[in-house]
Amino acid sequence: MKNSFQIGNVHIPSLAVLAPMAGVTDHAFRVLCKSHGAGLVYTEFVSSNGIIRENQKTLDMMAFTPDERPIVVQIFGETIDAMKRSAEYIQNVVKPDIIDLNFGCPVPKVTKKGAGSAILKDMPLMEEMTKAIVSAVNIPVTAKIRAGWDSKCIVAPETAAMLESHGISAVAIHPRTTKQLYKGNADWELIAKAKEAVNHIPIIGNGDITSAQSAKEMMDLTHCDAVMIGRRALGNPWIFSEINACFTGKELPAPPSLIDRVDMCRHHLLLEREDKGEIQAANLIKRHLSWYLKGFHGVSKYRSKIFMTKDIGIMLEILDEVREYILTDPILREKAYYENGALLDEVSY
C-alpha cells in the first residue's frame, strides 16, 4: 500500500493524520505526533470571529514551527464574511499549508451559534460559505464534516460531492451525527458512500479507529484515501508509527512500555513548558499526563500528587518517582501497556 497522498499541491507523507481536537492539538502535542509519523497535523479549531478581531489568544493558537509542516489551520464560524476574512488572514499572515473548514464540531456551545456541524442543517449557507472562502485564497481548502445533524438528516455523501464541486481539496468525515456526539458506533459505510460520491479529491476517514489493524480495516472497507486519528492518540502518539508500519507491510513496533510512557510524559511536559511557560504548561499538561499514566496498578496516587501541584519541577520529581516505582516492581518492569479501553468523550473536533 502506498503510504502517502496529495491534498491539492501538498504532499502528505503518511496516510495517518492527526485530527484537530480542542484543548489538545497544541504545538507540543502536534510535534510529538509528527515525530511518531503523523503525515499531517491540524491546529485546534480556531474562531473566525476571534481572528478578525485579532484576539491574541486566538492568534497564538495558530502559531507553528517549520518542523510541523505540512500543517492545517482549522477555522469555524457562522457567517460567510467572518470565515472569508479569517481565511484571507490565515493565508497572508499565518501561512499554513492548508485551511480546513470545521463543519463537524457537535459541541452545543458551537452549534448553538450556527457554527460547526449546525451548518449541516443549512446546506445553502455551507455552499455559499465554501465558494466564498475557496475563491478568496490560493492554498488548498479542505472541510471536516459529520454524518449529518441527526438520524433524519444524513447528508455526508451529497455534502462531500457538493464541497468537491466548489473547489474543496479534501473532505474528512466523522460518520456519527451531531446528536450522537461520540456515543454509539461510527457508520463507516457512510465514508464508503462519500468516497463513491466524489470524483477526484481524497476522503479521509475518522471515527472508531482503535489500532493499526482497525485503521487498515477502515481503509479496506471504505476505500478512503487516509485515516484521521483523534482520541486514540491521547497519551499514545505511538499509534502513528504503528499504522504506518501496518500500511507498509512492516512488522509492528513493540507496544510502548510503562517506562516509555513515563519518559514521554516528561518529554511532553518539557515541550509544553518551552512553548507556553511554567504556569500555562502546568495547567495544560495535567490531562495529558493522566492519559499517559492511565491503566496500570498503583499509579493513581502519583496522578493525584501531580494534579495537586502547579510546579513543573515537582511534577518532574513525581514522574521520577513513578519511574522508580516501575523499575522496582518485578511485574510492572516487564509489562507493556497498550490501552484498548473506552474512548474518551471530553475532547471535541
Task: Give the CATH number of the domain where residue 279 resides.
Answer: 1.10.1200.80
> Among 100-109, 172-181, 324-333, which stretch is predicted with the lowest mean pLDDT?
324-333
Q: Which of 322, 306, 304 is nearest to 314 (CA)?
A: 306
33 & 153 share domain: yes
Is residue 153 part of the annotated active site? The answer reads no
- Domain membership of residue 327 (yes or no) is yes
Q: What is the mean pLDDT of residues 215-243?
A: 97
- Kind and range of the H or E run holding 274: helix 258-276
In whole numbers, what is the pLDDT of the chain averaged over residues? 92
Peptide bond into 70 cis (omega under 30): yes
- Domain membership of residue 252 (yes or no) is no
Domain count, the chain: 2
332 Rama class: left (phi>0) / alpha (psi -120 to 50) / beta = alpha
28 & 171 share domain: yes
Band of pLDDT at residue 345, cut at 50, 70 and 90:
very low
Band of pLDDT at residue 128, cut at 50, 70 and 90:
very high
Residues of the chain with pLDDT > 90: what percent?
Answer: 81
Cell of 85: 476574512
Give the end of a domain, one of 247, 277, 299. 247
The pLDDT of residue 349 is above 60: no
Residues of the chain with pLDDT > 70: what percent?
Answer: 94
- Domain membership of residue 263 (yes or no) is yes
- Domain membership of residue 157 (yes or no) is yes
> Measured in Å, how far apart are the chain's first and last C-alpha atoms?
28
30 & 121 share domain: yes
Band of pLDDT at residue 335, cut at 50, 70 and 90:
low
16 & 159 share domain: yes
Give the end of a domain, one of 198, 228, 247. 247
Q: Which of 8, 18, 28, 13 is nearest to 277 (CA)?
A: 28
* Residue labelled with grid coordinates 518517582: 321
- Domain membership of residue 62 (yes or no) is yes
Phi, psi of 89 (to 5 degrees): -60, -45
pLDDT of residue 249: 93
The pLDDT of residue 347 is above 60: no
pLDDT digits (tens, 9 = 90+) for 300-322: 888 889 889 999 999 999 999 99
- Measured from the Cβ of residue 334, the count of other Cβ atoms closer than 10 Å reads 10
> Among 81-95, 230-244, 277-291, which stretch is predicted with the lowest mean pLDDT?
277-291
Report which residue type is found at 255: P
pLDDT of residue 339: 41
pLDDT of residue 337: 47
> Among 112-116, 191-195, 199-203, 330-334, which stretch is predicted with the lowest mean pLDDT?
330-334
The range of the structural domain enclosing residue 305 comes to: 258-334
Give the end of a domain, one of 212, 247, 282. 247
Distance CA 270, CA 276 (A): 10
- Domain membership of residue 205 (yes or no) is yes
pLDDT digits (tens, 9 = 90+) for 253-283: 988 888 899 999 999 999 999 999 998 999 8
**Residue 42, beta-bridge partner list:** 72
Helices (H), 223-257: 239-247
Distance CA 327, CA 343 (A): 29
pLDDT of residue 298: 76
- Domain membership of residue 156 (yes or no) is yes
164 & 269 share domain: no
- Measured from the Cβ of residue 112, the count of other Cβ atoms closer than 10 Å reads 11
Q: What is the mean pLDDT of residues 72-91?
A: 98
Do the beta carbons of residue 269 and residue 314 sit within 8 Å?
no
Distance CA 269, CA 282 (A): 8
Among the listed residues 105, 224, 246, 265, the single catalytic one is: 105
- Domain membership of residue 26 (yes or no) is yes
309 & 191 share domain: no
pLDDT of residue 330: 66
pLDDT of residue 334: 59
C-alpha 14, offset from chain centre: 15
Residue 36 sits in a domain whose CATH number is 3.20.20.70
